[in-house]
Structure 1
């Protein structure tokens, strides 16, 4: 596992998992939302977004956090592993709402230098609502990712489907242990 894309519906926990995975492996963490969103919630053009993504993926090892289906030809060109955070709709929706409330209350800037913050209005009462987006895309994403896993064009990619947080934690623990075994010096005894 050298080049990993973590995918999943908004609110699934893919960013939290991706950061933990990158830390466990010692790989750079790349968040696609941070590459895409500009100040004042302006969207990058595809041309600019694709160029930024290409540059971010130039290193030999990385954990890429994000979907953006239109970027598949770029991000999966060299990917060797795709990890799908595929929790239940109930859990995903709960996590999306909890995260949205926390961000609204804390007013934390989502991506440094953008000034983008979640507001109650935008998060819960607009057509751009992340909660609505989660509900709207959950089933579509599941169907898409199940199809991708079965697609012979992607047979060279290792797919890992995580259905529970326990599975996610177990995978990270296994990778930490494996890395420890690889990096520990051998004794001369």
Structure 2
């Protein structure tokens, strides 16, 4: 495992697991949202696809996203392992709500100085709304890709509980 994509819906814990994998395996971790949002005002980095392609061309990396259609195929083609956090809504929704509420109330900066706001909660692309509305379609898309022969011999590790992913992570040898 040297080129790892951690996939799942918002709130599944992709970034947390990716950071832990990076530490355990000594593989560089790249946070997709931080690469995508270039600066304040949720400005999008025009060089995002090129930056991701450059990183994905290296021998070792971990990305923490399934989103971003402009680089999705590239990452699935270059990854050797997909770690799929396939958690049910009853797990994901409390996590995303707590995280977004904390970020909003405490004005925590995320992704290059941006912050979640009260007004943002009323937008369709807010993480909580996104996780709720996209849960089933995201799951179906990851399942389809995991079975797609174009991406063979990709290794897909699917975890349907936080317990199973934690046990797996602890089983990995520290590098």
Question: How high is the TM-score relative to the length of structure 2?
Answer: 0.92
Which stretch shifts more, 71-80 or 89-98? 71-80
Number of residue pairs aligned between Structure 1 and Structure 2: 173
Candidates 137, 160, 163, aligned match of 1:163 = 160
Corresponding residue of 1:10: 10
Please say if residues 14 and 65 of structure 1, whose CA atoms lie closer than 8 Å, have aligned partners that are also in contact.
Answer: yes
Give the one of 118, 136, 139 matched to 1:139: 136
Give 1:103's aligned residue: 103
Change in Cα spacing, 1:56 to 1:155, as seen in structure 2 (3 Å) is: closer
RMSD over aligned CA atoms reads 1.5
1:77 counterpart SS class:
helix
1:1-189 pair list within 5 angstroms: 1-39=1-39, 40-45=41-46, 48-67=47-66, 68-111=68-111, 114-122=112-120, 124-176=121-173, 179=174
CA distance in 2, matches of 1:157, 1:53: 19
Q: Hey, what's the Cα distance between the residues in 2 that align with 1:169 and 1:36? A: 28
Which whole-Å CA distance do the structure 1 matches of 2:97 and 2:37 have between them?
21
Give, in angstroms, the shift of residue 76 of structure 1. 2.5
Aligned to 1:184: none
Report the 3-state secondary structure (helix = DSSP H, G, I; strand = E; otherwise coil) of the residue aligned with 1:160. Answer: strand
Please give the alpha-carbon distance, in whole angstroms, between the structure 2 residues aligned to 1:101 and 1:70. Answer: 29
Report which of the two has the higher share of strand.
Answer: 2
Native 8 Å contact 1:7 1:85 kept in 2 = yes
CA distance in 1, matches of 2:2, 2:8: 19
Consecutive unaligned residues of structure 1, counting only runs of 5 or more, are 181-189
Query: Rg larger in 1 or in 2?
Result: 1
| 1:127 alignment partner, SS class | coil
**Inter-partner Cα distance in structure 2 for 1:16 and 1:76:** 20
Unaligned runs of 5+ in 2: none
Alignment check: 8 A CA contact 1:50 1:74 kept? no
TM-score of the pair, normalised by structure 1: 0.85
